[in-house]
Structure 1
Amino acid sequence: MLSGFVDHSLNYSYIIMIIYKQFYSLKSAADQGSLYQLRNVVRRVDVQGPEGVTSSYRSHMNFVQDCLDSFVLGACLHMFGMDSLDGVPVNVEIPHFLHLASIEEQYAWLKELGEQLFKTYIKLNEDSLINIQMTDQVSEMDDQELLLAEMYDSRINRYSCTCNKTYKTKGHFKRHLEKEHEWGFALNQDTTNSAMHSKEDHVAVWRASFMKLSLLLRDTEDAYQYGDGDRIFRNVKFEMLCADAAHHTKYRLWLWRMQAYETAILSPRQAVEYKWNCTANTHGGKGKNIPNDNLVETLVQKIKKKLREQGSNITHNSAQRIALSIQIQQELKENTSQVRKRDVQNQLLTETLSLIF
């Protein structure tokens, strides 16, 4: 069906590159809880930032996963009101007979806690970021605005004061009231917004942003491992937004192209085939799929190895045969190895039984 079609699906390795570019900085070595500070605490010398992701992908991936687990665990401890893992929850009451409840009821209880944690520590809203209350000040500003509106004379299009002076602009009129009549005005809206912004918990914003992107990485990795096309293409929309925020035009274009093929360019039948064939399983077993992009890279390396073995005897036809047969040869090799291993095990079992009986 898709013969001749160029597969533009992209693996999820670029997400970890974005994470390190956005959240990993040598300047944050003294900031407690930053990635670089945590890297020094646990002595992960194999983590070198965005420059080392390509050469040491697995170590950088594991470090991000460890940091995500620690942040989620810290959020759980704070939400439960626990000082340590051995402590007793203070803010959350655990049902006494939870262990006797059904699996569905236990899952519902855990899901409710997870949603509460997500809303409080990951999906931050404006109310949870601002630590000051501006209610009284805003109310005072509203009262003053009403008084100023009452002192505006629409017949002459001017503000009229009780001292018989008139002003065309509100700013001049307010300065007159402050200087001559000792009025006190509250902060204007711009100053209020600036003060509110200065009180934002920037550490919470950084931590929540890191957890959002790391959770997206974990969910995308899990979707590829299980070949879940729905989740893969659902996460592509969020990944494209992240790539846009990080100014990665190449990744954004590739992700947009994936959606375009699935939504508009391919026929419905081809779109379904494309959507559910983004991964490949070379060893069998559930949860062991890899992205097609990784499979292509693996096959390219094996093809290059075969071509180097031919040396000066290489021709166009031989290179073509190698490229077309390398995957079949690899499958035959793995199947033969498995059969040989099974035969050896059966032989050992037969010899053991003969010695016993």
Structure 2
Amino acid sequence: MAQKTEITPLGLLEVDEKVSADMVKAMQYINQRYVPYTSDLDNGNYISKPVVHVILAGDHLTKQNADAAIRAKANEDTSFERLEGLVPVIVDFHCSTNFNDVIFKRFYNSCSQCDSGSLFHLRNVVHRTNVTKSALGDKYRPCNTFIQDVLDASIIAVGLHHFSLHTEEDMPASIPTSFLSNEEKQDWFDEQLLNIVDTYILNESPEFHNMLQGNLQNPPQSPVVPQPIVCQMPRCNHPPFKRQHDLTEHFKKYHGISVCDHREKSGVNAVEQHQEDYVFNYHSAFLKMGLLEHDFQDSVREGDGKRTCHLGKFKMLHFKEAQRYKYSLEALKLQFDLQALQSPRVGHRMMWNRTVNVTGGAGKNVALDLNCEHYVRYAISIWVQM
């Protein structure tokens, strides 16, 4: 994977992939020109079969149109006419862009500009004006760089907190003064790393465990109807509020008290109401998704197709939770192709033929669809100059 890839541009077709007839025409051209077929005699009839399957890699829209073109020719007589030698596959750059957008939709909110530690607050602190609420399209690069910077800062903060380091001169107190061997040093390092992962990343709130135990021990119940947000002050007949913030402003404007004052007068301890560390939970959830995307991009740079496909299983669950059902289904279909639907030979090529190394060198691979986007931009720049 560190070797420079030999690339042969095959030219451009004057077709529109959004038009079904044009997409079928393009698929037939590729099938006739680049897929070798052989004819075998079966019961007196010659049956054509593809000698080698050609993998067509692209983004989700291209794969969706290619699948539709193949289905449109499914009732033809021969395998050549049915385009059986072509295998459309979705690759990884557009998967990363959509997963970054899922991260932003979950953690980036302009209403949290006063919440210290939130992505929007950190964006204002470091003055990243090119970061927006969407990570798609041309905004992918600044948003992805911002996510990686926040992830690096969170990892550093985790290390400082775990080893109780408050200043630059502090030294970790938990490090032994000496190690008997390199194996003992490695065991200590592994133990600390596992403690960090269990404490700061692979943790869940008590409410999650209580909910899980309740689902295991009790049958499913009807969803709980949320209680209306109303003012609890005596002789206040204000209608229910839509947001908790509106109730807070109501306390200040009409009753002249803050939320803390109202809790003290109501006999509620404000400290008990906020026992859970929401900032910690926020960044712990961010670390889960940020590290997953970081590992995914690292596997693409190294050309490690096996690790890329393995991480796609976890992305599939996040896409489903974020209601990105098309990418979730494509991630599921990829696992079906690798493990059951395709032959071992085709599955091996689908797993490892996902990147290209344009310059040569370790860690210099890019996804096939990203390399195609570079060619598209280059072609457009030439047309504009003509």
Task: Name the amino acid aligned to 1:83.
Answer: H
Percent identity among equivalent residues? 31
Which of 114, 137, 152 is matched with 1:30 structurally? 114
Judging changes above 3 Å, is the alpha-carbon distance between structure 1 residues 242 and 302 closer, same or farther for their aligned structure 2 residues? same
SS of structure 2 residue aligned to 1:283: coil
Structure 1 residues 263 and 70, CA gap change in structure 2 (3 angstroms): same
What's the counterpart of residue 104 of structure 2? 20
Matching residue of 2:195: 116
Larger-gyration structure (1/2)? 1
Structure 2 equivalent of residue 43 of structure 1:
127
Distance 1:25 1:257, change over 3 A: same
Deviation at 1:64, TM superposition (A): 0.9
My pick for the range that moved more, 293-302 or 63-72, is 293-302
1:252-291 Cα distance to aligned partner (Å, 9 max, x none) = 1221222222122210111011101111111111111011
Q: Is the 8 A contact 1:129 1:201 kept in 2?
A: no
Deviation digits for residues 179-207 of structure 1 (CA, Å, limit 9, x no counterpart):
xxxxxxxxxxxxxxxxx998543332221
Verify: 1:95 aligned to 2:179, yes or no: no
Q: Which runs of 5+ in 1 are unaligned?
A: 131-195, 312-357
- Distance in structure 2 (CA, Å) of the matches to 1:304 and 1:107: 53
TM-score if structure 1 supplies the norm length?
A: 0.61
Distance 1:127-1:113 versus aligned 2 partners, 3 A rule: farther
| Separation in structure 2 between the aligned mates of residue 126 and residue 45 of structure 1, nearest angstrom | 34
The structure 2 residue matched to 1:297, chosen from 373, 379, 383, is: 373
Task: Please tell me the root mean square deviation across aligned C-alpha atoms, in Å.
Answer: 2.6
Are residue 282 (structure 1) and residue 358 (structure 2) matched? yes
**By how many angstroms is 1:86 displaced?**
2.6
Residue in structure 2 matched with residue 152 of structure 1 by the alignment: none
Decide which structure has greater helix share: 1
1:66 to 149, 158, 174: 149
1:2 counterpart (48, 53, 67)? 53
Q: Are the counterparts in 2 of residues 122 and 209 from structure 1 also a CA contact under 8 Å?
A: yes
Unmatched segments (≥5 aa) in structure 2: 1-51, 55-85, 210-271
- List per-residue Cα deviations over 1:335-355 (Å, max 9, x = no partner): xxxxxxxxxxxxxxxxxxxxx
- Deviations, residues 63-116 of structure 1 (Å, cap 9, x unaligned): 1111111112112222112213332324xx212235x853x5544332221110
- Deviation per residue, 1:128-181 (Å, 9 max, x gap): 999xxxxxxxxxxxxxxxxxxxxxxxxxxxxxxxxxxxxxxxxxxxxxxxxxxx
**Which letter does structure 2 place at the counterpart of 1:42?**
V
Q: Partners in 1 of 2:328 and 2:207 — Cα distance?
A: 31
Structure 1 residues 129 and 73: CA distance shift in structure 2, 3 A? farther
Q: Distance in 2 between matches of 1:45 and 1:306?
A: 31
Higher strand share: 2
Partner of 1:56: 139
Tell me, yes or no, if structure 1 residue 257 matches structure 2 residue 333: yes
Output the TM-score relative to the length of structure 2: 0.57
Q: Could you say which residue in structure 2 is the equivalent of 1:245?
A: 321
Displacement after TM superposition at 1:218 (Å): 0.5
Aligned length: 240
